[in-house]
Amino acid sequence: MSSASNRPVKQELMLGLIYPAVLGTILYQLVFTIAHVLREQYPLSSIIWTKWTLVVISVGFYVCDYLYIVLTKRYYWWSFLCDVVFLLAFYATVIAIDVDNPHNLPHNKVVLLCYFIFLLVYLLWDSYEFRTLPPGHERNFYRSVISWELSWLFVIGVFELVALLWANHLVISVLTIIILSVVTIWFGFLVSRMRKLI
């Protein structure tokens, strides 16, 4: 892996300052909610467990994204803009999960929309990488990343439409957790493959 000093300033800014600041804010909110549960100010219910699970999945996805940027060899000016969009969507995801509210289920449709935005931004970024690389291992890697993005864009898009028509919000929450868990685990696998290309 290239040393940090070889990275562009915008990439260093994103990795060293902006990403940790956003993650710190999210983790603080989660710890604050856990403290309320431990002091029995919030009931420990299926709603709280659902929300915590979604936050853990989101943080896992966020960590994968962070590692993806660390391992990225080429970081363009528009890469910085893509990361800003990602961070805004990530923050919107946490707001939609609504961890501080122990009485209502998360806003799953907004969470799914944010993940759709994540994958769409990645698709634009990775499609550019794929088109500009010569044939070889790295290009093949980006082909598999694009396949992951397209597959899950389709799944999340269809499920989002189903969720709009379905009235059982608890089932939607459970299915959202399952879908986003698979997306995040698959992303982690792709990041581990990317590490081998360095």
Q: pLDDT digit string (tens) for 175-192?
A: 999 999 999 999 999 999
| Cβ partners under 8 Å of residue 89, min gap 6 | 114, 117, 118, 121
What's the mean per-residue pLDDT of the chain?
Answer: 86
Local confidence band at 1 (pLDDT 50, 70, 90 cut-offs): very low
Local confidence band at 43 (pLDDT 50, 70, 90 cut-offs): low
Contact 105, 47 (CB under 8 A): yes
Average pLDDT of the residues in 126-141: 92
Local confidence band at 40 (pLDDT 50, 70, 90 cut-offs): low
Higher pLDDT, 43 or 103: 103
Contact 66, 19 (CB under 8 A): yes
Q: Which of 169, 47, 24 is nearest to 104 (CA)?
A: 47
Local confidence band at 48 (pLDDT 50, 70, 90 cut-offs): confident
Record the tokens describing residue 92, joined without a space: 């919107």
**Would you state the pLDDT for residue 3?**
46
Residue 140's Cβ-count burial label (10 Å; 0-12, 13-18, 19+) is: middle
CA separation for the pair 174, 186 (Å, rounded): 19
pTM of the prediction? 0.85
**Would you state the pLDDT for residue 28?**
79
